[in-house]
């Protein structure tokens, strides 16, 4: 039963990719109460189900009469595949296209106990009920027709996978840029707050020194020789006040000049970041939105806020 030709394995792979797409799309659509073309690809195929099914067939067909072994082999093999695939995709794209972090007994969010148990149950269903009619369908095709069909679907699959890969890389670049821009904006805002605090401190210090100088003058004028002091020293105090005022004014103007120059540089930096985001949005935004609409449950640990912003946008489109 399991000595198939290569093109037959290829057809099995695509059939189970299609079955997986039907299952995922219906489940996610029912959960979200709107139609979702689920999966990483544009077409009605989810490769992890195809690889999982083919892997299960390789592993369990030799022991298909023992349902316990079918369950265990299928559960272990599919769980390993799911973990490796999830970890590799997150490493490459910086995004998780499925996440079990909120499920009990999960491992790094890529696999969980419930999912593993489900894979075992799917393996039993595959061997006992699903694969037999699929096998009859594939083996019933003429060799030339089956080979041609496998070739055509493979070409379409490769084109779709290449385009989807590019979209995922676009998404990665966008969330990186958005995060970079957000961090730069926060740094600029923090610097502006520091500058404002320095200006306020300078104003308060100026007021304190003016009050102290006024108090000193008033102290002299209230002494026993008030009139004599007024006559002999009022000119000195006025000159002293004039010089301190000029010095303070010059210092304040210099500080304002420095602050103005720094604010100009900060503004240019922010505008450059916004321009980069705008260019990326114009070139890559729509493609990334298509990918996110197919994967509304996507998450990113490294770029959480940026991805959540894009997911919100994709839900509005």
CB atoms within 10 A of CB 35: 11
**Residues with Cβ within 8 Å of residue 284, at least 6 apart in sequence:** 170, 171, 173, 174
- Distances in Å between the Cα of 45 and the Cα atoms of 23, 49, 262 are 11, 9, 54
Q: Provide the 3-class DSSP secondary structure of residue 6.
A: helix
Q: According to the model, what pLDDT value does residue 75 have?
A: 94
Please tell me the chain's helix, strand, coil percentages from 3-state DSSP, rounded to the nearest 5.
80, 0, 15
Q: According to the model, what pLDDT value does residue 223 have?
A: 47
Contact 45, 39 (CB under 8 A): yes
Kindly report each contact of residues 292-297 with a partner whose C-beta sits within 8 Å and lies 24 or more positions away, as own/partner: 292/171, 293/36, 293/37, 293/317, 294/36, 294/37, 294/38, 294/39, 294/40, 294/42, 295/38, 295/39, 295/40, 295/97, 296/28, 296/32, 296/36, 297/28, 297/97, 297/98, 297/99
Q: According to the model, what pLDDT value does residue 221 have?
A: 47
How far is residue 82 CA from its own chain's centroid?
21
Q: According to the model, what pLDDT value does residue 111 have?
A: 95
High-pLDDT (> 70) share of the chain, %: 68
> Nearest CA to 166 among 92, 86, 99?
92
Q: According to the model, what pLDDT value does residue 148 have?
A: 96
Q: Provide the 3-class DSSP secondary structure of residue 96.
A: strand
Q: CB-based burial of residue 175 (10 Å sphere; 0-12 exposed, 13-18 middle, 19+ buried)?
A: buried
Below-50 pLDDT ranges, the chain = 1, 221, 223-224, 229-230, 317
Domain boundaries, the chain: 6-141, 178-294
Give per-residue pLDDT as tens, 141-169.
999 999 999 999 999 999 999 999 998 99
**Residue 88 to residue 82: CA distance in whole angstroms:** 10
**Residue 145 to residue 251: CA distance in whole angstroms:** 88
pTM (2 d.p.): 0.71
């Amino acid at each position: 039963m399991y000595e198939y030709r290569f093109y037959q394995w290829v057809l099995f792979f695509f059939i189970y990719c299609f079955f997986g797409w039907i299952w995922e799309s219906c489940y996610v659509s029912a959960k979200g109460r709107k139609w979702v073309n689920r999966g990483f690809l544009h077409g009605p195929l989810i490769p992890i189900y195809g690889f999982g099914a083919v892997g299960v067939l390789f592993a369990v067909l030799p022991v298909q009469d023992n349902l316990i072994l079918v369950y265990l082999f299928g559960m272990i093999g599919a769980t390993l595949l799911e973990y490796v695939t999830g970890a590799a995709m997150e490493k490459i794209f910086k995004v998780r296209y499925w996440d079990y972090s909120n499920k009990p007994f999960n491992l790094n969010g890529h696999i969980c106990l419930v999912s593993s148990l489900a894979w075992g149950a799917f393996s039993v269903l595959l061997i006992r009920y699903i694969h037999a009619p699929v096998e009859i369908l594939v083996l019933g095709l003429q060799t030339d027709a089956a080979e041609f069909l496998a070739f055509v679907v493979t070409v379409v699959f490769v084109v779709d996978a290449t385009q989807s890969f590019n979209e995922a890389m676009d998404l990665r670049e966008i969330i990186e840029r958005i995060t970079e821009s957000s961090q730069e904006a926060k740094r600029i805002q923090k610097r502006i707050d520091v500058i404002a605090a320095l200006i306020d401190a300078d104003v308060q210090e100026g007021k304190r020194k003016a009050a102290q100088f006024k108090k000193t003058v008033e102290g002299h004028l209230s002494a026993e020789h008030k009139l004599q002091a007024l006559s002999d020293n009022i000119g000195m105090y006025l000159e002293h006040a004039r010089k301190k005022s000029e010095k303070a004014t010059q210092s304040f103007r210099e500080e304002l000049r420095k602050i103005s120059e720094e604010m100009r540089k900060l503004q240019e930096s922010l505008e450059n970041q916004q321009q980069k985001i705008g260019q990326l949005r114009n070139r890559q935004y729509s493609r990334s939105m298509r990918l996110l609409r197919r994967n509304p449950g996507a998450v990113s640990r490294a770029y959480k806020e940026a991805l959540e912003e894009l997911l919100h946008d994709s839900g509005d489109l």
